[in-house]
C-alpha cells in the first residue's frame, strides 16, 4: 500500500500549499495555478523523495492527472458561489423566504456577470464594448457537453 500512501501524501501537501498561497494572494488564473502547484509537488516527491518502480510511477502519474482534473473541477465550484448554494444558504438563514425576497437577492445580475467575467479571464471569450467574440478555445470547450447530450438524445440544456 506504499504507493497509495505516497499519492495521498502528495495530495495533502498540495492542498496545504494551495491554502497557504491562496490566503496570501489569490492568483488570477486559478486552474493553471492549481495545476502548477500539484505538478511541482509531484515532481519533487517522485524525483527526490519516493523511490518507486516504473509501473508504480505510471499508476501514480495517471492517478495524479485525474486527481488534478477533478480537483480543478471541484475548486471552480468553491471559488465562484453557485446560485443554488446561495439560495439554500439564504433560506437556511431566514427559515422561509418569499419569491419576491429571493428576486431582490438576484436583482443585480451578479452571478451571470461573474461567470461571463470568468470566461473572459479563461480566454474563452473576449468582450469589446458590447460585442462578444468567441475564441476557438470556446468552441472546443463546449464540444464535449453538446456531443454527450446528443448521444444521450437530450436536447434540453439547463443553466
Partner 1 sequence: MLGLFFLFLSFFSIVFSQIIIIRIFPILGVVRTFFISFLLNLSALILINLVYFDNASYVVLNSFIFVLFSFCYFGVVNGGDTSLRIRVLREIVENKIDDMPTLLNIIDDKKTLFIRLERLTQNGQLVYTNNEYSLGKSRLLYLAILFDYLRKIFGYKSIN
**Size of residue set near partner 1 by CB under 8 A:** 80
Q: Which of residues 49-108 bind partner 1 (CB under 8 A)?
A: 58-60, 62-63, 66-67, 69-70, 73-74, 77-79, 81-93, 95-99, 102-103, 105-108
Helix axes 2-24, 54-79, angle to 10 degrees: 30
Q: Which of residues 10-49 bind partner 1 (CB under 8 A)?
A: 18-19, 22-23, 26
Residue with smaller CB distance to partner 1, 9 or 138: 138
Best CA proximity match to 72, nearest among 112, 111, 27: 27
Q: Which of residues 100-139 bind partner 1 (CB under 8 A)?
A: 102-103, 105-112, 115-116, 118-119, 124-125, 127, 130-134, 138-139
Give the C-alpha distances (Å, rounded to integers) separating 8 from 13, 16, 92, 131, 152: 9, 12, 35, 46, 35
Amino acid at each position: 500500500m506504499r504507493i497509495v500512501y505516497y499519492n495521498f501524501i502528495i495530495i495533502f501537501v498540495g492542498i496545504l500549499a494551495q491554502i497557504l498561497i491562496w490566503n496570501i494572494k489569490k492568483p488570477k488564473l486559478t486552474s493553471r495555478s492549481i495545476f502548477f502547484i500539484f505538478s511541482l509537488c509531484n515532481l519533487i516527491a517522485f524525483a527526490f523523495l519516493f523511490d518507486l518502480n516504473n509501473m508504480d510511477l505510471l499508476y501514480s502519474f495517471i492517478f495524479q492527472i485525474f486527481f488534478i482534473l477533478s480537483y480543478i473541477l471541484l475548486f471552480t465550484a468553491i471559488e465562484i458561489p453557485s446560485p443554488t448554494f446561495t439560495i439554500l444558504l439564504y433560506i437556511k438563514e431566514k427559515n422561509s423566504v418569499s419569491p419576491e425576497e429571493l428576486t431582490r437577492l438576484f436583482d443585480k445580475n451578479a452571478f451571470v456577470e461573474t461567470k461571463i467575467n470568468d470566461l473572459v479571464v479563461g480566454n474563452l471569450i473576449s468582450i469589446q464594448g458590447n460585442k462578444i467574440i468567441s475564441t476557438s478555445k470556446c468552441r472546443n470547450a463546449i464540444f464535449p457537453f453538446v456531443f454527450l447530450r446528443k448521444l444521450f438524445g437530450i436536447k434540453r440544456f439547463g443553466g
